Structure 1
Amino acid sequence: MSAIRSPLSDEAGIVAGEALQGALVDLIDLSLFAKQLHWNVTGRTFRSVHLQLDEVVTLARRYADDVAERAVAIGINPDGQSATVARGTHLPGVEVGYVADEKVLRLVTEVLAATVTRMRTRMDITGQPDPVTQDLIIGIVRDLEQQHWMFQAMV
Protein backbone atom coordinates (compact mmCIF):
# COMPACT_ATOMS: atom_id res chain seq x y z
CA MET A 1 0.00 0.00 0.00
CA SER A 2 1.26 3.45 -0.88
CA ALA A 3 2.25 5.80 1.91
CA ILE A 4 1.03 8.61 -0.34
CA ARG A 5 -2.73 8.90 -0.63
CA SER A 6 -4.46 10.99 -3.27
CA PRO A 7 -7.90 12.56 -3.13
CA LEU A 8 -8.44 11.29 -6.69
CA SER A 9 -10.84 8.40 -7.12
CA ASP A 10 -9.22 5.04 -7.86
CA GLU A 11 -10.43 5.25 -11.47
CA ALA A 12 -9.06 8.78 -11.93
CA GLY A 13 -5.77 7.69 -10.37
CA ILE A 14 -5.46 4.79 -12.78
CA VAL A 15 -6.11 7.00 -15.83
CA ALA A 16 -3.69 9.67 -14.62
CA GLY A 17 -1.10 7.10 -13.57
CA GLU A 18 -1.12 5.36 -16.94
CA ALA A 19 -0.88 8.69 -18.76
CA LEU A 20 1.97 9.84 -16.53
CA GLN A 21 3.91 6.57 -16.86
CA GLY A 22 3.61 6.67 -20.65
CA ALA A 23 4.72 10.29 -20.66
CA LEU A 24 7.67 9.46 -18.41
CA VAL A 25 8.89 6.71 -20.74
CA ASP A 26 8.51 9.00 -23.77
CA LEU A 27 10.38 11.86 -22.10
CA ILE A 28 13.28 9.76 -20.79
CA ASP A 29 13.67 8.10 -24.17
CA LEU A 30 13.40 11.43 -26.00
CA SER A 31 16.22 12.82 -23.85
CA LEU A 32 18.42 9.82 -24.66
CA PHE A 33 17.54 9.92 -28.36
CA ALA A 34 18.31 13.64 -28.64
CA LYS A 35 21.55 13.37 -26.63
CA GLN A 36 22.81 10.51 -28.82
CA LEU A 37 22.20 12.61 -31.92
CA HIS A 38 23.70 15.69 -30.18
CA TRP A 39 26.98 13.83 -29.74
CA ASN A 40 27.11 12.47 -33.28
CA VAL A 41 25.64 15.12 -35.59
CA THR A 42 27.88 16.36 -38.40
CA GLY A 43 27.46 18.75 -41.30
CA ARG A 44 27.25 22.39 -42.32
CA THR A 45 24.60 23.22 -39.70
CA PHE A 46 26.31 21.21 -36.96
CA ARG A 47 26.42 23.97 -34.36
CA SER A 48 22.79 25.06 -34.56
CA VAL A 49 21.50 21.48 -34.66
CA HIS A 50 23.85 20.46 -31.84
CA LEU A 51 22.59 23.31 -29.65
CA GLN A 52 18.92 22.77 -30.55
CA LEU A 53 19.23 19.10 -29.58
CA ASP A 54 20.47 20.15 -26.16
CA GLU A 55 17.31 22.23 -25.75
CA VAL A 56 15.24 19.10 -26.41
CA VAL A 57 17.30 17.14 -23.88
CA THR A 58 16.88 19.82 -21.22
CA LEU A 59 13.14 20.09 -21.87
CA ALA A 60 12.63 16.30 -21.78
CA ARG A 61 14.65 15.87 -18.58
CA ARG A 62 12.86 18.72 -16.80
CA TYR A 63 9.43 17.42 -17.72
CA ALA A 64 10.37 13.81 -16.89
CA ASP A 65 11.06 14.95 -13.34
CA ASP A 66 7.81 16.95 -13.22
CA VAL A 67 5.84 13.95 -14.52
CA ALA A 68 7.43 11.54 -12.05
CA GLU A 69 6.81 13.89 -9.14
CA ARG A 70 3.18 14.39 -10.19
CA ALA A 71 2.77 10.60 -10.24
CA VAL A 72 4.16 10.29 -6.71
CA ALA A 73 1.95 13.16 -5.54
CA ILE A 74 -1.13 11.15 -6.54
CA GLY A 75 0.15 7.90 -5.04
CA ILE A 76 1.54 6.32 -8.23
CA ASN A 77 5.10 5.03 -8.27
CA PRO A 78 6.84 6.13 -11.48
CA ASP A 79 9.20 3.71 -13.19
CA GLY A 80 11.98 5.32 -15.18
CA GLN A 81 14.38 2.38 -15.14
CA SER A 82 16.26 1.63 -18.35
CA ALA A 83 14.55 -1.74 -18.81
CA THR A 84 11.12 -0.13 -18.45
CA VAL A 85 12.01 2.59 -20.95
CA ALA A 86 13.41 -0.01 -23.38
CA ARG A 87 10.23 -2.12 -23.13
CA GLY A 88 7.91 0.85 -23.52
CA THR A 89 9.71 2.88 -26.15
CA HIS A 90 7.99 4.15 -29.27
CA LEU A 91 11.13 5.87 -30.55
CA PRO A 92 13.39 4.42 -33.22
CA GLY A 93 16.95 3.62 -32.32
CA VAL A 94 19.74 5.89 -33.46
CA GLU A 95 22.33 4.50 -35.83
CA VAL A 96 25.83 4.12 -34.45
CA GLY A 97 28.37 6.64 -35.69
CA TYR A 98 28.09 10.09 -37.18
CA VAL A 99 24.74 11.22 -38.52
CA ALA A 100 24.42 13.96 -41.13
CA ASP A 101 22.67 17.11 -39.93
CA GLU A 102 19.92 16.87 -42.56
CA LYS A 103 19.11 13.31 -41.48
CA VAL A 104 19.11 14.37 -37.82
CA LEU A 105 16.64 17.15 -38.62
CA ARG A 106 14.27 14.72 -40.36
CA LEU A 107 14.57 12.10 -37.61
CA VAL A 108 13.97 14.56 -34.78
CA THR A 109 11.05 16.18 -36.61
CA GLU A 110 9.39 12.76 -37.04
CA VAL A 111 10.06 11.71 -33.45
CA LEU A 112 8.73 14.97 -32.03
CA ALA A 113 5.57 14.74 -34.16
CA ALA A 114 4.88 11.20 -32.94
CA THR A 115 5.64 12.13 -29.32
CA VAL A 116 3.30 15.12 -29.52
CA THR A 117 0.55 12.86 -30.88
CA ARG A 118 0.91 10.47 -27.92
CA MET A 119 1.04 13.37 -25.46
CA ARG A 120 -2.11 14.90 -26.96
CA THR A 121 -3.91 11.58 -26.44
CA ARG A 122 -2.80 11.63 -22.80
CA MET A 123 -3.93 15.25 -22.55
CA ASP A 124 -7.38 14.31 -23.83
CA ILE A 125 -7.89 11.32 -21.52
CA THR A 126 -6.80 13.12 -18.35
CA GLY A 127 -9.01 16.20 -18.80
CA GLN A 128 -12.05 14.95 -16.95
CA PRO A 129 -10.58 12.66 -14.31
CA ASP A 130 -7.55 14.81 -13.40
CA PRO A 131 -7.28 18.34 -14.81
CA VAL A 132 -4.08 18.95 -12.82
CA THR A 133 -2.31 16.15 -14.67
CA GLN A 134 -3.85 17.42 -17.90
CA ASP A 135 -2.42 20.88 -17.19
CA LEU A 136 1.06 19.41 -16.81
CA ILE A 137 0.69 17.51 -20.07
CA ILE A 138 -0.60 20.64 -21.83
CA GLY A 139 2.66 22.38 -20.90
CA ILE A 140 4.66 19.46 -22.24
CA VAL A 141 2.71 19.51 -25.51
CA ARG A 142 3.21 23.27 -25.86
CA ASP A 143 6.98 22.99 -25.51
CA LEU A 144 7.32 19.86 -27.66
CA GLU A 145 5.28 21.50 -30.41
CA GLN A 146 7.58 24.51 -30.27
CA GLN A 147 10.60 22.24 -30.70
CA HIS A 148 8.83 20.39 -33.52
CA TRP A 149 8.27 23.72 -35.30
CA MET A 150 11.90 24.74 -34.84
CA PHE A 151 13.25 21.47 -36.24
CA GLN A 152 10.80 21.59 -39.16
CA ALA A 153 11.95 25.11 -39.96
CA MET A 154 15.55 23.89 -40.29
CA VAL A 155 14.73 21.09 -42.76
Structure 2
Amino acid sequence: MAAIKSPLPDDAQKVAGEALQGSLIDLIDLSLTAKQAHWNLTGRNFKVVHEHLDEIVALARGGQDDVAERAVAIGVNPDGRARTVADRTKNPQLEAGYLADDKVVAAITDLLAQIIARFRERITATDEPDPVTQDLLIAIARELEKQHWMFQAQT
Protein backbone atom coordinates (compact mmCIF):
# COMPACT_ATOMS: atom_id res chain seq x y z
CA MET A 1 0.00 0.00 0.00
CA ALA A 2 1.26 3.48 -0.83
CA ALA A 3 2.10 5.85 2.00
CA ILE A 4 0.43 9.24 2.29
CA LYS A 5 2.90 11.93 1.32
CA SER A 6 3.06 14.68 3.90
CA PRO A 7 2.53 18.30 2.89
CA LEU A 8 4.92 19.20 5.74
CA PRO A 9 8.70 19.06 5.95
CA ASP A 10 9.97 16.11 8.00
CA ASP A 11 10.73 18.11 11.16
CA ALA A 12 7.31 19.81 11.13
CA GLN A 13 5.60 16.48 10.46
CA LYS A 14 7.36 14.97 13.49
CA VAL A 15 6.27 17.76 15.85
CA ALA A 16 2.70 17.78 14.57
CA GLY A 17 2.52 13.99 14.55
CA GLU A 18 3.64 13.77 18.19
CA ALA A 19 1.12 16.44 19.20
CA LEU A 20 -1.67 14.63 17.38
CA GLN A 21 -0.76 11.21 18.79
CA GLY A 22 -0.66 12.55 22.35
CA SER A 23 -4.00 14.25 21.81
CA LEU A 24 -5.50 11.06 20.39
CA ILE A 25 -4.46 9.08 23.47
CA ASP A 26 -5.84 11.78 25.79
CA LEU A 27 -9.17 11.87 23.96
CA ILE A 28 -9.61 8.10 23.71
CA ASP A 29 -8.90 7.67 27.41
CA LEU A 30 -11.16 10.62 28.28
CA SER A 31 -14.06 9.00 26.40
CA LEU A 32 -13.48 5.69 28.18
CA THR A 33 -13.17 7.33 31.60
CA ALA A 34 -16.33 9.39 31.10
CA LYS A 35 -18.26 6.31 29.97
CA GLN A 36 -16.99 4.31 32.96
CA ALA A 37 -18.19 7.08 35.28
CA HIS A 38 -21.48 7.31 33.38
CA TRP A 39 -22.21 3.61 33.94
CA ASN A 40 -21.26 3.54 37.62
CA LEU A 41 -22.58 6.88 38.83
CA THR A 42 -24.73 7.17 41.97
CA GLY A 43 -26.06 10.08 43.99
CA ARG A 44 -28.61 12.86 44.23
CA ASN A 45 -27.37 14.56 41.05
CA PHE A 46 -27.31 11.33 39.07
CA LYS A 47 -29.38 12.43 36.09
CA VAL A 48 -27.63 15.75 35.47
CA VAL A 49 -24.11 14.31 35.83
CA HIS A 50 -25.04 11.12 33.92
CA GLU A 51 -26.20 13.17 30.94
CA HIS A 52 -23.29 15.60 31.19
CA LEU A 53 -20.84 12.70 31.02
CA ASP A 54 -22.35 11.73 27.67
CA GLU A 55 -21.50 15.23 26.41
CA ILE A 56 -17.87 14.59 27.38
CA VAL A 57 -17.93 11.25 25.57
CA ALA A 58 -19.35 12.84 22.41
CA LEU A 59 -16.78 15.64 22.51
CA ALA A 60 -13.90 13.21 23.03
CA ARG A 61 -15.06 10.83 20.29
CA GLY A 62 -15.52 13.65 17.78
CA GLY A 63 -12.12 15.06 18.66
CA GLN A 64 -10.50 11.63 18.31
CA ASP A 65 -11.72 11.31 14.76
CA ASP A 66 -10.63 14.82 13.81
CA VAL A 67 -7.18 14.32 15.35
CA ALA A 68 -6.67 10.89 13.75
CA GLU A 69 -7.77 12.15 10.33
CA ARG A 70 -5.42 15.14 10.58
CA ALA A 71 -2.57 12.77 11.43
CA VAL A 72 -3.25 10.68 8.32
CA ALA A 73 -3.54 13.85 6.22
CA ILE A 74 0.03 14.78 7.18
CA GLY A 75 1.35 11.26 6.59
CA VAL A 76 1.37 10.03 10.20
CA ASN A 77 -0.34 6.81 11.23
CA PRO A 78 -2.52 7.38 14.31
CA ASP A 79 -2.37 4.62 16.90
CA GLY A 80 -5.54 4.26 18.92
CA ARG A 81 -5.09 0.63 19.83
CA ALA A 82 -6.11 -0.36 23.34
CA ARG A 83 -2.57 -1.43 24.31
CA THR A 84 -1.11 1.87 23.07
CA VAL A 85 -3.66 3.91 24.99
CA ALA A 86 -3.21 1.83 28.15
CA ASP A 87 0.57 2.05 27.98
CA ARG A 88 0.86 5.74 27.12
CA THR A 89 -2.03 7.46 28.88
CA LYS A 90 -1.15 10.12 31.43
CA ASN A 91 -4.73 10.37 32.66
CA PRO A 92 -5.52 9.26 36.22
CA GLN A 93 -7.90 6.32 36.39
CA LEU A 94 -11.17 6.17 38.29
CA GLU A 95 -11.75 3.73 41.11
CA ALA A 96 -13.64 0.54 40.27
CA GLY A 97 -17.25 0.13 41.38
CA TYR A 98 -19.98 2.62 42.09
CA LEU A 99 -18.93 6.25 42.09
CA ALA A 100 -20.60 9.06 44.05
CA ASP A 101 -21.66 11.97 41.89
CA ASP A 102 -19.59 14.52 43.82
CA LYS A 103 -16.46 12.39 43.43
CA VAL A 104 -17.10 11.98 39.71
CA VAL A 105 -17.55 15.72 39.24
CA ALA A 106 -14.28 16.38 41.08
CA ALA A 107 -12.42 13.64 39.16
CA ILE A 108 -13.67 14.79 35.76
CA THR A 109 -12.89 18.43 36.62
CA ASP A 110 -9.31 17.46 37.52
CA LEU A 111 -8.95 15.18 34.50
CA LEU A 112 -10.12 17.89 32.10
CA ALA A 113 -7.69 20.39 33.65
CA GLN A 114 -4.79 17.99 33.08
CA ILE A 115 -5.79 17.28 29.48
CA ILE A 116 -6.25 20.99 28.77
CA ALA A 117 -2.75 21.71 30.09
CA ARG A 118 -1.29 19.13 27.70
CA PHE A 119 -3.36 20.49 24.81
CA ARG A 120 -2.04 23.99 25.53
CA GLU A 121 1.54 22.65 25.43
CA ARG A 122 0.78 21.04 22.06
CA ILE A 123 -0.80 24.25 20.79
CA THR A 124 2.42 26.10 21.61
CA ALA A 125 4.58 23.35 20.07
CA THR A 126 2.67 23.37 16.75
CA ASP A 127 2.59 27.16 16.32
CA GLU A 128 5.46 27.34 13.82
CA PRO A 129 5.66 23.79 12.44
CA ASP A 130 1.98 23.35 11.55
CA PRO A 131 -0.62 26.07 12.14
CA VAL A 132 -3.33 23.83 10.66
CA THR A 133 -2.79 21.21 13.36
CA GLN A 134 -2.54 24.02 15.89
CA ASP A 135 -5.93 25.34 14.75
CA LEU A 136 -7.50 21.90 15.25
CA LEU A 137 -6.00 21.59 18.72
CA ILE A 138 -7.24 25.08 19.62
CA ALA A 139 -10.79 24.16 18.58
CA ILE A 140 -10.75 20.99 20.69
CA ALA A 141 -9.17 22.81 23.64
CA ARG A 142 -11.91 25.43 23.47
CA GLU A 143 -14.55 22.72 23.89
CA LEU A 144 -12.59 20.96 26.63
CA GLU A 145 -12.30 24.25 28.52
CA LYS A 146 -16.04 24.84 28.19
CA GLN A 147 -16.73 21.40 29.66
CA HIS A 148 -14.16 22.00 32.40
CA TRP A 149 -15.96 25.19 33.38
CA MET A 150 -19.32 23.38 33.44
CA PHE A 151 -18.02 20.55 35.61
CA GLN A 152 -16.09 22.94 37.87
CA ALA A 153 -19.30 24.94 38.44
CA GLN A 154 -20.87 21.81 39.95
CA THR A 155 -18.24 21.47 42.71
**TM-score bin, normalised by smaller chain:** over 0.9
Give the drift of 1:99.
0.4
- Name 2:105's counterpart in structure 1: 105
- Name 1:57's counterpart in structure 2: 57
Q: Deviations over 1:98-132 (max 9, x none)?
A: 10000000000000000000000001100111000
What TM-score comes out, normalization by structure 2 length?
0.98
- Name 2:143's counterpart in structure 1: 143
Instruction: Provide the C-alpha distance between the structure 2 equivalents of 1:60 and 1:111, rounded to a whole number of angstroms.
Output: 13
What TM-score comes out, normalization by structure 1 length?
0.98
Amino acid at match of 2:56: V
- Name 1:75's counterpart in structure 2: 75
Give the drift of 1:94.
1.6
**In the comparison of the two structures, how many residue pairs are matched?**
155
Q: Deviations over 1:16-61 (max 9, x none)?
A: 0000000000000000000000011110100000000000000000
Instruction: Provide the C-alpha distance between the structure 1 equivalents of 2:7 and 2:55, rounded to a whole number of angstroms.
Output: 35
Instruction: Provide the C-alpha distance between the structure 2 equivalents of 1:54 and 1:112, rounded to a whole number of angstroms.
Output: 14
Contact residue 17 and residue 71 of structure 1 kept, 8 A: yes
- Structure-2 change in CA distance of 1:72 and 1:55 (3 Å): same
Give the drift of 1:6.
1.5
- Name 1:89's counterpart in structure 2: 89
Does 2:21 correspond to 1:21?
yes
Contact residue 2 and residue 75 of structure 1 kept, 8 A: no
The alignment partner of 1:7 has SS state of: coil
Amino acid at match of 2:22: G
Amino acid at match of 1:152: Q
Give the drift of 1:152.
0.4
The alignment partner of 1:154 has SS state of: coil
Where do 4+ consecutive residues of structure 1 move more than 2 Å? none
Amino acid at match of 2:52: Q
Superposed CA RMSD: 1.0
**What are the ranges of 5 or more consecutive residues in structure 2 without an aligned counterpart?**
none
Instruction: Provide the C-alpha distance between the structure 1 equivalents of 2:104 and 2:3, rounded to a whole number of angstroms.
Output: 44
**What are the ranges of 5 or more consecutive residues in structure 1 without an aligned counterpart?**
none
Amino acid at match of 1:136: L
Out of 1-10 and 50-59, give the one that drifted further. Answer: 1-10
Instruction: Provide the C-alpha distance between the structure 2 equivalents of 1:9 and 1:2, rounded to a whole number of angstroms.
Output: 19
- Structure-2 change in CA distance of 1:85 and 1:98 (3 Å): same
The alignment partner of 1:27 has SS state of: helix
